[in-house]
Amino acid sequence: AQSVTQPDIHIPVSDGASLELRCNYSYGATPYLFWYVQSPGQGLQLLLKYFSGDTLVQGIKGFEAEFKRSQSSFTLRKPSVHWSDAAEYFCAVGDSYGGATNKLIFGTGTLLAVQP
Amino acid sequence: EADIYQTPRYLVIGTGKKITLECSQTMGHDKMYWYQQDPGMELHLIHYSYGVNSTEKGDLSSESTVSRIRTEHFPLTLESARPSHTSQYLCASSESRQSYNSPLHFGNGTRLTVT
């Protein structure tokens, strides 16, 4: 069965510091991978997605993610975080054989706290 | 800037009441979804729809029901609310083409508290 693991529940970083959020997935076929961000009281917003090709993908708000098949990982990075990046970040995997359903499996989320 | 709308944002209601959570999208998306989100837990899919008159149960069993009479509207109903239904409910939609890689667009959610 598909699964997504985000090993870090909470990550504190200083304003202006670099950020790295980890995500590992379990899936037998080609994964379709997503990172979403959820600000307090809001829904989820798509940051970026990986389907194929270049293993480094660029997203919105200066985020990027690196896909490593050998490690079953999809790591989210940002060179310099801003206080407005404080939010919860969710990694998700989509089923390439999902047919019409387009169901996503989400991780438990990583809460990013940005310290002044 | 959201094109998918959920009402109400917050709802506090007593046990045994019937409630309907509204979800509407203006993007013409065929596929719509309801996820349940609890603190520290992953989002769980409870219902989804391929299009009008199509509804399916998701991976997480839920006592709620849904309907899809119009493309843009996907309401969720609880006939008799219980404290165990307290949670955040997120509605989402996606395009129908290449279903497995179309991103989901989420509403802002309804936080339900059943007392």
| Confidence label for A41 from pLDDT (cuts 50, 70 and 90) | confident
Q: Are A116 and A81 in contact (CB under 8 A)?
A: no
* Position with higher pLDDT, A95 vs A38: A38
Q: Do A104 and B104 touch (CB under 8 A)?
A: yes
Of B31, B103, B107, the CB nearest to A43: B107
pLDDT digits (tens, 9 = 90+) for B28-64: 998 999 999 998 788 899 999 989 999 999 888 789 9
Q: Do A101 and B99 touch (CB under 8 A)?
A: yes
Q: Chain B partners of A32 at a C-beta cutoff of 8 Å?
A: 100-101
- What's the CA gap between A25 and B112, in Å, rounded? 31
Strands (E), B26-115: 31-37, 44-49, 56-57, 65-66, 76-78, 87-94, 105-106, 110-114
| Confidence label for A84 from pLDDT (cuts 50, 70 and 90) | very high
Of B99, B105, B109, the CB nearest to A99: B99
Which residue on chain B is closest to A47 by alpha carbon? B103
Q: What is the pLDDT of residue A11?
A: 96
- What's the CA gap between B67 and B2, in Å, rounded? 22
Percentage with pLDDT > 90 across chain B: 72
* Position with higher pLDDT, A51 vs A110: A110
Q: Chain A partners of B41 at a C-beta cutoff of 8 Å?
A: 108
- What's the CA gap between A38 and A100, in Å, rounded? 26
DSSP A41: T
CB proximity B88 to A under 8 Å: no
Q: What is the pLDDT of residue A95?
A: 67
| Confidence label for A42 from pLDDT (cuts 50, 70 and 90) | confident
Q: What is the mean pLDDT of residues A24-34?
A: 84
Of B31, B42, B99, the CB nearest to A107: B42
pLDDT digits (tens, 9 = 90+) for B61-109: 789 999 999 999 999 999 999 999 999 999 999 886 655 567 889 999 9
